[in-house]
A and B are shown apart, each in its own frame.
Chain A
Amino acid sequence: MRVLVGVAAFLAILPLIALILFVLLKAVPFLAPSFFFNNPLDQEPGILNAIVGSLQLSGLTVLISGPIGIAGGVYLSEFASPRVVAIGETAIDVMLGVPSIVAGVFAYLILVPVLGFSGWAAVAALSILTLPIMMRSTQEVLRLVPQAIREASLALGVPVWKTALFVSVRTALPGILTGVILAFSRALGETAPLLMTARGTNAENWLDFSTTMNAMPIVIYQYSNAASDLLIGQAWATALILMVIALTINVLVRGRTVNSRTA
Chain B
Amino acid sequence: MATEKRKTENTTTGAKDELAQAAARPAAQAAQRASASEGDGGRLTLENVSARYGAFRAVKDVTLAVRPKSVTALIGPSGCGKSTLIRTINRMHETLPGATVSGSIALDGVDLYSSDVDPVRARRVVGMVFQKPNPFPTMSISENVSSGLRLTGGASKSDIAGIVEDSLRRAALWDEVKDKLNQPGTSLSGGQQQRLCIARTIAVKPRVVLMDEPCSALDPVATLKIEELIRDLAAEYTIVIVTHNMQQASRVSDETAFFSMDDDRAGYLVETGPTAEMFTNPKQALTEGYIQGRFG
Chain A residues with Cβ under 8 A from B125's Cβ?
157
A152, closest chain B residue (CB): B134
Most chain B CB inside 10 Å of its own CB: which residue of A151, A154, A155, A166: A155
Tell me whether A157 and B123 are in contact (CB under 8 A). yes
Query: What size tier do the contact residues of chain B reach?
Result: 20 to 34
Bound Cα distance from A162 to B151, whole angstroms: 7
Chain A residues with Cβ under 8 A from B121's Cβ?
157
B290 beta carbon closer than 8 Å to chain A = no
B44 beta carbon closer than 8 Å to chain A = no
Tell me whether A158 and B130 are in contact (CB under 8 A). no
Tell me whether B138 and A152 are in contact (CB under 8 A). no
Q: In the complex, which of the residues A154, A156, A170 contacts B200, with contact meaning CB atoms closer than 8 Å?
A: A156
State which residues 136-166 of A face B: CB under 8 Å: 146, 148-149, 151-160, 162, 166
Tell me whether B148 and A171 are in contact (CB under 8 A). no
Chain B: minimal CB distance from A170 (Å): 5
B244 beta carbon closer than 8 Å to chain A = no
Chain A residues with Cβ under 8 A from B92's Cβ?
151, 154-155
Tell me whether A171 and B138 are in contact (CB under 8 A). yes
Is chain A's binding surface mostly helix, strand, loop or mixed? Answer: helix
A95 beta carbon closer than 8 Å to chain B = no
Tell me whether B136 and A152 are in contact (CB under 8 A). yes
Query: What size tier do the contact residues of chain A reach?
Result: 20 to 34
Chain A: minimal CB distance from B118 (Å): 9
Q: In the complex, which of the residues B134, B135, B138, B151 contacts A151, with contact meaning CB atoms closer than 8 Å?
A: B134
Bound Cα distance from A149 to B130, whole angstroms: 10
Q: Given A148-B130, A151-B92, A152-B130, answer yes or no on A158-B148 (Cβ-Cβ < 8 Å).
A: yes
Chain A: minimal CB distance from B287 (Å): 30
Bound Cα distance from A173 to B201, whole angstroms: 25
Tell me whether B123 and A148 are in contact (CB under 8 A). no
Chain B: minimal CB distance from A155 (Å): 4
- Indicate with 1 or 0, residue by residue over B121-141, a CB within 8 angstroms of chain A CB atoms: 111110110101011111000
A6 beta carbon closer than 8 Å to chain B = no
Tell me whether B120 and A158 are in contact (CB under 8 A). yes
A55 beta carbon closer than 8 Å to chain B = no
- Indicate with 1 or 0, residue by residue over B152-184, a CB within 8 angstroms of chain A CB atoms: 100000000000000000000000000000000
Tell me whether B97 and A82 are in contact (CB under 8 A). yes
Tell me whether B134 and A156 are in contact (CB under 8 A). no
B257 beta carbon closer than 8 Å to chain A = no
Bound Cα distance from A151 to B87, whole angstroms: 11
Bound Cα distance from A173 to B137, whole angstroms: 12
Chain A residues with Cβ under 8 A from B151's Cβ?
153, 156, 158, 162, 166
State which residues 181-211 of B face A: CB under 8 Å: 197, 200-201, 204
- Indicate with 1 or 0, residue by residue over B216-257, a CB within 8 angstroms of chain A CB atoms: 000000000000000000000000000000000000000000
Tell me whether A171 and B137 are in contact (CB under 8 A). yes
Bound Cα distance from A78 to B5, whole angstroms: 49
Q: Which 3 A-B pairs have the closest CB atoms?
A: A157-B124, A156-B148, A157-B123
26 chain-A/chain-B pairs, Cβ below 8 angstroms: A81-B97, A146-B134, A148-B130, A148-B134, A149-B135, A149-B136, A149-B137, A151-B130, A151-B134, A152-B130, A155-B127, A155-B201, A156-B201, A157-B121, A157-B123, A157-B125, A157-B148, A157-B152, A157-B204, A158-B120, A158-B151, A160-B120, A162-B151, A166-B151, A171-B137, A173-B138
On B, residues with C-beta under 8 Å from A are 90, 92, 95, 97, 120-125, 127-128, 130, 132, 134-138, 147-148, 151-152, 197, 200-201, 204
